[in-house]
Copies of this chain bind each other. A is one copy, B any other.
Amino acid sequence: MKFGQPSDVHTIGNDIQELNLLNFDLYGRDFLLTTDKSLVDLEAVLRLADILRMLWRANVSTRVFQTGLAIAQFRDKSTRTRFSFASASNLLGLALQELDETKTQISHGETVRETSTMISFLSEAIGIRDDMFIGRGHTYMREVGQALDESFQAGVIGHRPAIINLQCDIDHPTQSMSDLLHLARHFGGLHNLKGKKIAMTWAYSPSYGKPLSVPQGIITLMSRFGMDVSLAYPEGYDLLDGTVAKAKQYAQETGGQFRIMNSMEEAFENADVVYPKSWAPYRVMKRRTELLEAGQGIEDLEKECLANNAKFKNWECDAQKMKLTRNGEALYMHCLPADITGVSCRQGEVSEDVFEKYRMATYMEARYKPYVIAAMMMMARFRDPVALVDHLFRNRSRRAGRFEA
């Protein structure tokens, strides 16, 4: 399948054939970090996501569950990802149920095991967002996974729901995978990403405390496809060592590049793609955890952090910097919402004119997420997802309009 071609019903059959050739191993496995998955796994998820999207466009039902729940556990505010998860669950036929924890608490061992089991009796998937505390989110998700394994093996729950990471302290796979699908379509195929330069850069923001998982997700994913990844940030805004190490390793393995620099301009130089986005320094996020547990000092930390950010107001993606990119026409990306200078804040990550030029492109970038999440769920819950999506295609049951029952 040529990702970049316009889609229509006739190509879906071919796309399913091509997906069938991939030797992926996703059944019964949670989707927590892209670094846990093979390249084939990742490509399979993207292909299935795009097939589901085309089926939707062709008004073909993608319902694979008559009943069943998808649980949403958000330990952080979210509108976009919440909607994406709700949409993904719904397009497969699952009903959304929120696990509402009124107090953001660090769960004790007992509570995690019990709560995870109590919500799983009739659930097919659990989407968790836990990104506010360095060292906690990913750990929590693994703990949930272990609790579910134990209950499943003991026969308490009849099946083992799949856990989907909706953003943790390390990675944001639903975001990075959607971004990757967007790039694949933009450049006409995953294979065409090889050698393309992406500038994953820090950018100024008047708010502090933004998670590191988006830049970490981008560098650990794009480096796996032979891209020339340039990570740029002011001194002190390092990402987690482990993610940087992985990006270096992947770049080596795939003949790509991975470079770190302290200049936004240098990263933008001849870039095919730019992704300027703010994040808090890792050390600040760690201290934030400690202060929150102590119950004091947060406001001082915030002031300190904002003051530090303010030294780098020139780290703004403006028309001048965009001129440095390849033909001055690099694809601008953002997970949204962006801090837009003069629009959503006085000084921000991107200038108004640049954002306006790429606004529709950022909406295009966002549209894949429900399908990526649905593909992750489908791959994890069905032994033969290709046969299943092929059945959906051949059955051509209408999603909207007349149908039997």
Distance in Å: Cβ of A117 to nearest Cβ of chain B: 5
Please measure, in the bound complex, the distance between the C-alpha atom of A155 and the C-alpha atom of B6, giving whole angstroms. Answer: 11
Within 8 A of B (CB), among A76-125: 79-80, 83-84, 86-87, 90-93, 95-97, 99-100, 108-111, 113-115, 117-119, 121-124
Interface pairs (14), CB distance under 8 Å: A57-B158, A61-B66, A61-B405, A63-B66, A63-B67, A83-B99, A87-B122, A114-B336, A124-B400, A151-B360, A151-B363, A382-B401, A388-B402, A395-B402
Please measure, in the bound complex, the distance between the C-alpha atom of A68 and the C-alpha atom of B80, giving whole angstroms. Answer: 17
A66 touches B405 (CB 8 A): yes
A370-B121, A404-B397, A404-B405 are contacts. A69–B86 as well, Cβ < 8 Å?
yes
Please measure, in the bound complex, the distance between the C-alpha atom of A151 and the C-alpha atom of B87, giving whole angstroms. Answer: 18
- Of the candidates B62, B115, B343, the one whose C-beta lies within 8 Å of that of A110 is B343
A399 touches B66 (CB 8 A): yes
| A contact face: mostly helix, strand, loop, or mixed | mixed
The 9 closest A-B pairs by CB, nearest first: A87-B122, A61-B66, A156-B363, A403-B405, A404-B405, A391-B402, A154-B360, A405-B405, A90-B95
The residues of A with any CB-CB pair to B shorter than 8 Å are 56-57, 61-69, 79-80, 83-84, 86-87, 90-93, 95-97, 99-100, 108-111, 113-115, 117-119, 121-124, 151, 154-158, 336-337, 340, 343-344, 359-360, 363-364, 366-367, 370, 381-382, 388, 391, 395, 397-405
Please measure, in the bound complex, the distance between the C-alpha atom of A151 and the C-alpha atom of B363, giving whole angstroms. Answer: 8
Distance in Å: Cβ of A93 to nearest Cβ of chain B: 6
**Residues of B contacting A108 with CB < 8 Å?**
343-344
B399 touches A65 (CB 8 A): yes
B68 touches A400 (CB 8 A): yes
A79-B99, A110-B344, A388-B402 are contacts. A90–B69 as well, Cβ < 8 Å?
yes
